[in-house]
Chains A and B, each alone.
Chain A
Amino acid sequence: MFPELNSILNTSPDNFKEREFIVLSDKQADASFLIHHYLTFYLRARCKVCFLGLVQSFSHYSAVSQRLGVNLTQAKEKGQLVFLEALKASPGVLLNKGTSDGIQTFDYLRSPFPELRGLFEFVHSSLTESGDDDGKPWGPPVLLVDDLSVLLSLGVSVGAILDFTHYCQATICSQLPGTMVVLVRRDEEWDEEEYSSGHLLQGVTHQCSLSLHVEGLSTGFCRDIHGQVAVWWRKRGQSAQSQRKIFQYKVHDKGASFFARGTSSAVL
């Protein structure tokens, strides 16, 4: 959890908005540090968290969260965190060696007709089942996905992924008072091609309520400023205005700092 980002977004683990759909995206930079922020944020906020680890293994997230002060293994044992080790399960499914339990969950690896229904059912069942911590029920459910665009590499169509996010949004953000956070990578130069994840990013950005877009600096590589984050609040309903702000950031060993453009301590 990065306190500076919390103050920018005007939120904290004690007081955060529900029913949000947050999209993290990047271009020529890496937005995965934001996934770690949200994972530790919602675990601190006592939310029931479902994490789909599509690109890294559990020990990676666990090692990073440890540095940010949250113990994932403990959270998993208490039932607060449901972690899907999708990466680890993939060779077994692809080579058809896996056992039969939870086999529908990985239907997206089955060619020629990959589909995400099984994955949605996994999310649905893990977030709706009730659990508690010494009699106190967990907070609102949260779904985190890292990262959604790897599904494109596995042959899932853009339409199927957008269906998946829409179903999740309808369930988590509308039926339940929950939140979902997804990470989408954008191709460097996306074109009009059907396969491009430019379409995917456009699609999920249209559905979302808050978008954090990470980009490299247009002036090139710099050691002291790792890039910029465009924060875009999309207002729904009452006021049609949306607000957009840009900050520069630097990732540290145990956190990240955010500052207004041109005010890095390296240049002042």
Chain B
Amino acid sequence: DSRIGTENSVSSLIGRNNATSFQKKTRSKLVSIPGTRPSVQNGQLIVSTGVTSLDYVIGGGLAVGTLLLIEEDQSDSYSQMLLRYFLAEGVVCGHELFLASAQDHPENIMQMLPSPILDDNVSTDQGDRPPTPLHLHDPDAMKIAWRYQNLPKFQTTFGSSLFGHCYDLSKPMEQQVRQAAKCHTFYLPEEKTAAKESSHLTGPYAGLLQCIQALIQKEGFDGSSSQCTVRNVLRVCLHSLGSALWGDDLCCSESPTHYHALTTFLYALRALLRSSLSVAMVTVPSHLIQVRVVIMERITKLSDTTLTLESFQGSEKETNPLYKDYHGLLHIRQVPHLNCLLCAIPDTKDLAFKLKRKQFTIEKLHLPPDLSESVSRVSKVELPGCGPTSKHLDF
């Protein structure tokens, strides 16, 4: 009986607490899995994506049992980065990983994980720490406008570092750290090509689904083995589903032979995730799919959170002064509806991402300040989308 499904996993984890209302709430009753916490909004068990600003944007984190779909940017560079962040967070939190790919060998992807920055500010236990008081000997201590010293620094990025970790993209993760994690891989060219005939799922994904289901059952993520003492979360990463390398012809033909293979696979994957302690990230090269509108709409409906990365690489937006601070736009197509009527609604949908030397961040899109010498109040740079501005105002 897999009643320890994801939806009631939090309530089953939290013991009966018959404390009086004056007692301080302690989290000790919660059989906590490292790297997870109950969501502030609806109490669901959530995990971090590895990018704290992304967690903030999608409502705190990924709820366990849900599927995050990422529509790849054209060169698949930023989406693969998110995939690596997701895996790295799993490694640091001690989660089990499942990585499937048809293009790069999973081992190669694992070698490129970013290195975690484990300073004192970041901790694996999610205790609510007060912000560290500023030291008096701090060379940056304010001498004049000292009143402002204790105010929080102005931040354009979202998120706090209390949940999830920071990573340094310029350094690869150390090998010992990486190998401590339990990672299951699926590399399509090395798998046995003959899928079992007994399966009703035809097409390229039958083997993959069998592999995931066997793993979930064997390792007890579905709660079937109640004796299992250590509960853990499984992070499932599927790279570039729907691409031609998976043997799918969605990208090559307008009337593919396995028209429903990908959607049927995602449906079954959704069912597996919902009844186990697992969370999935799937990337799809949506710009390649031929009958894109119909297929992507269906895929979106079958996943929970859907994001689109629109990179400026090679597009005319690259040189646009409006976007000069950013490397691309992030569109939130869908937010999850799970166990609640009202989903987490983002404050704004105008989001952009940028890649700094060591870090990938998501920010609220805003106009850059006009600081140039020749800033003329009369003839501004005409920004696209603002419409024609009249040069003179007659009163």
Contacts and interface: CB of A to CB of B under 8 A. Distances in A.
Interface of A: 30, 32-33, 36, 55-57, 59-60, 63-64, 67-68, 87-91, 93-96, 109-112, 149-150, 152-155, 185, 187-191, 193, 195-196, 221, 223, 226, 251-256
Contacts, number: 126
Interface of B: 5, 7-8, 198-202, 209-210, 213, 259-260, 263-264, 266-268, 270-272, 274-275, 291, 293-294, 297-298, 301-302, 337-343, 345, 347, 349
A67 B200 contact: no
A57 B345 contact: no
Contacts of B338: 56, 60
Contact of A153 (B200, B272, B302): B302
B298 A91 contact: no
Contact of B213 (A55, A95, A193): A95
Contact of A155 (B5, B210, B259, B339): B259
B302 A67 contact: no
B270 A87 contact: yes
B341 A33 contact: yes
6 residue pairs, one from A and one from B, having the closest CB atoms: A153-B263, A59-B7, A155-B260, A63-B339, A96-B198, A187-B297
B341 A57 contact: no
B274 A153 contact: no
Contacts of B343: 30
Given A59-B8, A150-B302, A152-B298, A94 B201 contact: yes
Given A90-B271, A153-B260, A254-B341, A109 B7 contact: no
B264 to A, nearest CB: 6
Contacts of A152: 298
A3 to B, nearest CB: 15
A91 B272 contact: yes
Contact of B337 (A32, A89, A150): A32
A164 B298 CA distance: 21
Contact of A64 (B209, B274, B293, B341): B341
B39 to A, nearest CB: 13
Contacts of B199: 94-96
Given A95-B199, A153-B263, A155-B260, 7 more contacts: A59-B8, A87-B271, A87-B274, A95-B210, A95-B213, A154-B260, A256-B341
Nearest to A109: B200
Nearest to A30: B337
Contacts of B275: 57, 88
Contacts of A187: 293-294, 297-298
A189 B201 contact: no
B198 A223 contact: no
A24 to B, nearest CB: 14
Contacts of A191: 293-294
A68 B260 CA distance: 36
A89 B2 CA distance: 12
A198 to B, nearest CB: 9
Contact of B341 (A59, A96, A112, A255): A255
18 contacts: A60-B339, A63-B339, A87-B271, A89-B271, A91-B272, A94-B268, A95-B198, A95-B201, A96-B198, A111-B200, A111-B202, A111-B260, A112-B202, A152-B298, A155-B264, A187-B297, A223-B347, A255-B341
A57 B267 contact: no
